[in-house]
Structure 1
Amino acid sequence: MALRACGLIIVRKCNPRIPPTKANDFEFLLLQTSYGINHWTPPKGHVDPGEEDITTALRETEEEAGLHASQFSLLEGFRKELNYNVRKKPKTVIYWLAELKDFNTPVTLSSEHQDFRWLPLQEACDYVGYQEMQDALQEANQFLLTDYPSHGAREARPP
């Protein structure tokens, strides 16, 4: 059976008063795990039995980063599915894109993580290391610069 996880790629505008036009106009939230090789990743976690994927993403974001759904908006039209192997087992991770409403919203880490960073695109890609995650961050950034203004945002609520 394939492993399944869901999470959010969370961004914040570096200058909320100016419309974003380039890659460094956004910062991405990455969390450093306190286990394994201490890799960096957006908040995500395993889907509980019977749980909707988006509900998992919202729950895991609150558990791992202390960010409640009322503190960010889901950006309509972005969904990225990653498929790879972990310990020789297939794993699927689904990410949605969310924008923090207030630049200064604090991040509160769970015991699963030891550090966090808000990083511009290139640094975020360097931190995550894995090509699939780099591609997801680049696609999210491209969406923010081209598609997002026409799609808008919605309140983050479980279905």
Structure 2
Amino acid sequence: MGKRACGFVIFRRLSQNVEYLLMRANYGDQHWSPPKGHVDKGESDMQTALRETEEEAGFVKEDLKIYEDAKKELNYLVKNKPKTVIYWLAELINNSKEVVMSKEHQDFKWLPLKEACETAVYEDLQETLRFFDSYISDNIQK
């Protein structure tokens, strides 16, 4: 069995615009992605997503509106080993709440979809961002 990680694609609304949180890793290729992390033994996927979001971005459950029915699973290889990443969609409720980065990241950006997809260079992550953007357009009041 491969590694499993969970997190949230976090968005905020500024007037009529939707922006997505991407964080730049301190390791490997220093890629940009939403906050996520590996599932600890005895932890549910949702518990992992909440813990990792607090550790990596400083947001707790009360800061977010979680859309549990908006879920995306990515499967890919890391160093020739399978990895599964589960993302749920979450909205930052209080736009004045600041991102507090962990030492695992060197930078963060709030970006509209087009720029978020350009910044998130992996195709499956770009597809995930577009999937959630469609979900927001189709299911969430503006």
Q: Shared fold (TM-score greater than 0.5)?
A: yes
Aligned to 2:91: 99
Matched, 1:49 2:63: no
How many pairs align? 141
Aligned to 1:132: 124
TM-score normalised by structure 2 residue count = 0.96
Aligned to 1:61: 53
Aligned to 1:85: 77
Matched, 1:29 2:21: yes
Q: Whole-Å Cα distance in 1 between the matches of residues 28 and 76 of structure 2? A: 17
Structure 1 unaligned runs (5+)?
150-159
Aligned to 1:10: 10
- Residues 78-125 of structure 1, C-alpha deviations (whole Å, 9 max, x = no match): 000000000000100000000001112100000000000000001000
RMSD: 0.9
CA contact 1:76–1:148 (8 Å) conserved in 2: no
Structure 2 unaligned runs (5+)?
none
Match of 2:79, as an amino acid? R
**DSSP-derived class of the 1:36 partner:** coil
* Cα displacement (A) at 1:50: 1.2
Aligned to 1:152: none
* Cα displacement (A) at 1:76: 4.0
Q: Whole-Å Cα distance in 1 between the matches of residues 120 and 3 of structure 2? A: 20
Matched, 1:117 2:95: no
* Cα displacement (A) at 1:52: 0.3
Aligned to 1:156: none
**DSSP-derived class of the 2:5 partner:** strand
Identity of aligned residues (%): 50
**DSSP-derived class of the 2:30 partner:** coil
* Cα displacement (A) at 1:74: 0.3
CA contact 1:75–1:97 (8 Å) conserved in 2: yes
